[in-house]
Each structure stands twice: as C-alpha cells, then as structure tokens.
Amino acid sequence: NWTSVGNLRKEKEAIIDPRGLLTANIDSWSIDIFAFHQGKLYAPSQLRQVKQRVLHSIPMIETSFEVENFVLLITTFANVIRGQEILFHQVRVTNHGHQGDDIAVYLSIRPYNPEGISLVHRINYREEAFYVNGSLGVVLMQKPQQVLCSNLKDGDVTLQFSRKDAPSQYESVCNAGLCTASAGYTVYLNPGEDQTFEFRIPMDAKMTIARIIFSEGTFEGYEQNVVSDWKRKLQESISISIPDKKLEKAFKTNIAYMLLFFDGNSIAPGPFNYHHFWFRDAAYLLQALCKSGFAAETRQVLLTYPSRQKLNGFFYSQQTEWDSNGQAIWIIAEYYRMTGDKDLVRKLIASVQLGARWIIKKLKSTASLEVPYKGIMPIGLSAEHFGGNDHYYWDDYWSLQGLLDARFLMDELPEEHLVTKDMDHAIATLRVDIEASMAWANTKLDKPSLPIAPTRYVDSAAIGNLVTVYPLNLLSIEDERLTNTVEFLRENCFVNNVFFHDINHSGHGTYLNMHLVQYYLQKRDPRALDILQWMTNIATHTFTWPESIHPFTFGGVVGDGHHGWAAADFIMAVRHLLFYEQEDILVLT
C-alpha cells in the first residue's frame, strides 16, 4: 500500500508507504526518517503505531510518530522550481514533555523501496547534498552535524548512530549495491519547543544540475502555492456534501488523485508498477475524470488515440488484448455523450471507423468455427484476472459495444455520408453468436449463468460479466443469467462479506467489488452500501487502495499499491449512489 505524490500538471509521481518511506522515482532507492534517543533507534517501520493522513484532500501527505515525549511530523508534497519537479520533505520535531531533552533526527538513504531492493553502488556527500549513483539525490536545507556513509562490509549506517564520536564519512562505495547514508541533527528542545529540518529531492533520477537551484523560496511559500493551485483546479470538479464525512473526504481526495494519474497526453493506472498506458484502464479512468468535471483533460488524452493505433486499426496496449478496441471507441462515445463535443468526433471518426473494421475482421477470423467459438473473439489474454488465454466473453461484450458506439458516432455526422451497412450486419451477427455460444456454455451448468468463457464453469472470474451492467448496460438487470451469476459469487466467492477473487489476484479485488456495487445500485439493493462502506473502511489513511487486498493482512497483493482503476471506480460508485444517467433519465439517490 502506498500513496502517490506529484505535481498537478506534470507527469512524474513519487510514492510514500504507510510508514513514511519516500521513493522519489520508479524502482529507485528511498528516504526514511529515523530518530535516536537515549541510545535507542526509532525506525517508523518497526514502531507499533505510525499515523498518516492526507492534507487539504490533495496529494500532500503528513506522517507522524512518537519517540518518548517527542513527536515527529513529516510533511511531503511536490512543486516545481525553474521547471524542475521537486519533492519537499519537512520534518518537525516537537517536545511535548515537561522537561527539556535532546533528540537526534536522521534522514537516511535506503537501498530499497516498498517492492524490494534498489541497488545503490555509490553515495557522495558534498555542499549539503547527497549524490546517489552519480546523480543528485537529496539537498539538505540545513547543514547537518553529522554525515555518515556506509556499505555492506561495514554494515548498515544505523549501526553507527550510537557512536556519538563517530567521525563524518562523506562517501561510500559498494559492489553489492548496498550503500546507505544518513544526515544527523541533534537538538535540545525545551517543553513545547520545536525544530524543523527540510529536504528537497529531485523527481528526475538522472539530475546532475547544481545545488543552487534548490535554494530558492521557503517550504511554507511552496506549500501555500501548492494548496492554492490544487484548490483552484478542484473548483472545476463535482463536489458532494453528505452526512458521512469520511466518505465525502474519500471522494474528494480521489478526484484529486485522478488529476494526479492524468499525465497530460496520457493517463496511467498507477504511479509505480503501473505507470504505463493501457486502453482498458484508461477507459475507466477517463470516464471518472470526465464525469468528475474534467472534460478538457479527457479530451487531451483522447486526441492521442489515433497515434496509439496500429495501421490495421488495432488500438494496441499489448498483444492479444482483444478488448481494447471496444474500450477505445466506447470512451470516445462516452465523452461525446457527456459533452456534445462534435469537433472531437470529427477529428477521431476515421480512427473510430478503422478500429471498428478491425473488430469486424477479428470476428470474421472465427466465423468458420463451430459453436461455441463461432463468430466471437479469438483466443487472447484479455484482462489478466480471468486466467490464461481463452475465448473471453468480456472481449465480446466490449467488441459489441465498440461496434454500437462506432455506429452511434457515425450517425452523429450525417454530413459525412458514412456507410454503416457492414457495421449493422456485424452488430446483429455478433449478438446472435454471443447468445449461441452462451447457450452452449449453459448446457453444462445447473442453472442459467454467465461463465467468463465457453468451456469454463462459473468461477470467480465470472465477475467480469458484470461489464454487461456497468459500464455497458448491454443486458437487462433482471436477466436470469446475471442474477444467478451474482448469487453464485455471493455464495462461493465472498470472504469478510465482500468479493474475494482467487484467480491470479488472490485477494479482495478493489475495482471488482465496485462493479458489484454498481450491479446492486441498479437493482436498488442496499447491499451496495455494505460493499461501499467496506471499501471506505479498508482504504489507507490517505484514502488509497491497491489493486487487490490480502484478506488477513489487508495489504496489497498484486498490481500497484495506489491503483488508479480502483480510485476511478470508487468515484463512479459514489457518484452513481447519488445520481446516474439511464438513457434520457436521471436517476437520483
């Protein structure tokens, strides 16, 4: 589990874990804050309690822990200095005791991040800055009293904290890549007194520029600037006021996170492992971004879709993901339904037509096969939480929606005289072929249901068929197969009263549980509230979720520790709890 921190209009993000470990760049080394008091080391990762919260409902994180009568408060946010993305990291230590005492505060460079080892072969300290592996790593805004560098041979740098007379060491080299370093500040504080230490970290892992760029401005000035900038932008967004203030704050904070996942011409479902573009994730993220009030940002990403498309029309994320064309066309149409932006449709209609023809051609590749594979999408990987390669109905539903929305968008441009006969035939044929395949699949089942693939029995992957309800509305909410499938999931795949996915993810799928919320909302079933309440309660203190949650430790088990698709579907679940569009009807509360 972790939380993204980054700039409003920039691409890079850092991550902070629940104990305050700060990783400035993807797969890089990290920074931890330690305290040393009366001969004892206090490391947040080993303390019984560390508090963390998000400030102002924006990506500004406060982490705090106690050391005897002292409280250490760490505030972290991102800003820009002369075009360079910088992390601002401040430690405030306060004496809450009744007598004066001294305490040592250390900034420590660690050769790992929340995912594992990140090799550090060399650390140099000069001019109040640490250089790590040859690049500028951390700038210290106050000169430390002690600098320590160590390597594997001499042991972790923390082993030297107890030696008050230990001479400063300004460099370490380690062939094993396990260099560590610390900058120490020992202060005497009277009761009620505090002292602050500030550090600035570049969000460019290869930065070698002079330290002087970091000397501008004050922490408080940059903090005020960040808060004002985010608040000004968030005034454009949807806002809610409800009695459940925790839910309200989680909703508001995740809208800010959606802007963080937006990277200008791209949108990524995570800051770390998933800092890449996928059409599948983008469809859900852009829907939430647009319906939160940020149509211009959504439009900016959609304009890049033709450049992401192959010459044969395939909206390519990775091989054999046959759902992506339907998702790309659907989100273009969904944006248009929300905004009426016909200019964007004109710009993208050629790409949409090419994408639809790719779907038709792909479906023709199975037209000569026997039922249950006749006329549906060929074997592919699809979404990884379904299992190995197979003919997945998920791909067919998305393909059908892609054709329907391509037809819809073409109808919106009558002046273009676009030919739609092949589209109409493909839509009708695909509907028949899906139903024939599903009927065949149901011959081996006890009751009418929706397995995820023709030869599969109903298992936890069948939750993927809820795409027919949310977001596509392809099946009636009263469809017997749908009802039986959800009942199977409740009876066989629920742990802790929420959905547990035992294929690949092996955890409580966060966005998958939100899809159940959407199903129950359309059924007007209050069980939607139970699952949504679980989602709110299981969130980190900064209102983030990993892709899937371990049922006992409640930590992340797969994907990114701050997952954008989970955030997007949480936003949509809360929005639809209050209101949603059902064709030309607005359904309230």
Residue 152: how many other CB atoms lie within 10 Å: 15
- Tell me the average pLDDT across 76-82: 94
pLDDT higher at 400 or 212: 400
- Tell me the average pLDDT across 56-79: 97
Is residue 562 within 8 A of residue 4, CB to CB? The reply is yes
User: Bridge-partner residues for 88, per DSSP?
Assistant: 77, 200
Q: What is the pLDDT of residues 227-278, one digit of tens each?
A: 999 999 999 999 999 999 999 999 999 999 999 999 999 999 999 999 999 9
User: Bridge-partner residues for 138, per DSSP?
Assistant: 130
pTM of the model: 0.97
Per-residue confidence band for 82, with pLDDT thresholds at 50, 70 and 90: confident
DSSP letters spanning 110-165: ESEETTEE--B-EEEEETTEEEETTEEEEEESS--SEEEEE-TTT--GGGGTT-TT
- Distant-in-sequence, close-in-space partners of 406: CB < 8 Å, separation ≥ 6: 329, 333, 352, 353, 355, 356, 423
- Which residue shows structure tokens 């695909």? 430
- Written as six digits, the tokens of 301 are 């990403």
Pick the closest to residue 456 from 311, 476, 527, 465 (CA basis): 465
Per-residue confidence band for 116, with pLDDT thresholds at 50, 70 and 90: very high
> 66 vs 55, 200, 250, CA distance in Å?
19, 24, 26
Ordered strands of the 61-67 beta sheet: 51-54, 61-67, 70-81, 84-95, 194-202, 135-140, 129-132, 122-126, 171-173
Phi, psi of 144 (to 5 degrees): -75, 155
User: What percent helix, strand, coil does the chain show, rounded to 5?
Assistant: 35, 25, 40
Is the per-residue pLDDT at 212 higher than 80? no
Q: Give pLDDT, residue 215.
A: 80
Is the per-residue pLDDT at 481 higher than 80? yes
Pairing verdict, β 70-81 and 13-16: unpaired
d(CA 342, CA 87): 40
> 461 vs 67, 344, 514, CA distance in Å?
47, 36, 15
Pick the closest to residue 262 from 24, 59, 406 (CA basis): 59
Average pLDDT taken over every residue of the chain:
96
- Which residue shows structure tokens 């955030």? 567
d(CA 489, CA 491): 6
Helix or strand holding residue 255 (H, E)? helix 245-261
Pick the closest to residue 424 from 406, 398, 443 (CA basis): 406
The amino acid present at 271, given as its one-letter code, is P
d(CA 106, CA 410): 62
- Written as six digits, the tokens of 505 are 């993810």
- Written as six digits, the tokens of 1 are 């589990």
Pairing verdict, β 556-558 and 84-95: unpaired
Q: Give pLDDT, residue 540.
A: 97
The amino acid present at 246, given as its one-letter code, is K
d(CA 222, CA 141): 14
Q: Give pLDDT, residue 165.
A: 74
Per-residue confidence band for 130, with pLDDT thresholds at 50, 70 and 90: very high
Q: Give pLDDT, residue 115.
A: 93
CA atoms within 13 A on the CB side of 194: 12
Is the per-residue pLDDT at 213 higher than 80? no
Is residue 450 within 8 A of residue 462, CB to CB? The reply is yes
- Tell me the average pLDDT across 278-286: 98
Is the per-residue pLDDT at 211 higher than 70? no
Q: Give pLDDT, residue 363.
A: 98
Pick the closest to residue 26 from 568, 416, 562, 423 (CA basis): 562
Pick the closest to residue 299 from 327, 330, 325, 332 (CA basis): 332
- Tell me the average pLDDT across 525-535: 97
Is the per-residue pLDDT at 483 higher than 70? yes
Q: Looking at residue 262, what DSSP letter applies?
A: B
Q: What is the pLDDT of residues 442-474, one digit of tens each?
A: 999 999 999 999 999 999 999 999 999 999 999
- Distant-in-sequence, close-in-space partners of 111: CB < 8 Å, separation ≥ 6: 29, 117, 118, 119, 120, 177, 178, 179, 180
Q: What is the pLDDT of residues 410-443, one digit of tens each?
A: 999 999 988 889 999 999 999 999 999 999 999 9
Pick the closest to residue 410 from 345, 340, 485, 506 (CA basis): 345
Beta strands in 447-531 (DSSP E): 494-495, 498-499, 508-509
Is residue 286 within 8 A of residue 331, CB to CB? The reply is yes
- Written as six digits, the tokens of 464 are 């993927």
Q: Give pLDDT, residue 210.
A: 57
- Tell me the average pLDDT across 581-589: 89
Phi, psi of 229 (to 5 degrees): -65, -45
C-alpha triplet 444, 445, 449: angle, nearest 5°: 130
User: Bridge-partner residues for 494, per DSSP?
Assistant: 499
Q: Give pLDDT, residue 555.
A: 93
Phi, psi of 470 (to 5 degrees): -130, 125
What is the radius of gyration, based on Cα positions, of the chain? 27
> 508 vs 40, 430, 527, CA distance in Å?
39, 33, 17
- Tell me the average pLDDT across 21-26: 97
Is the per-residue pLDDT at 347 higher than 60? yes
DSSP letters spanning 350-361: HHHHHHHHHHHH
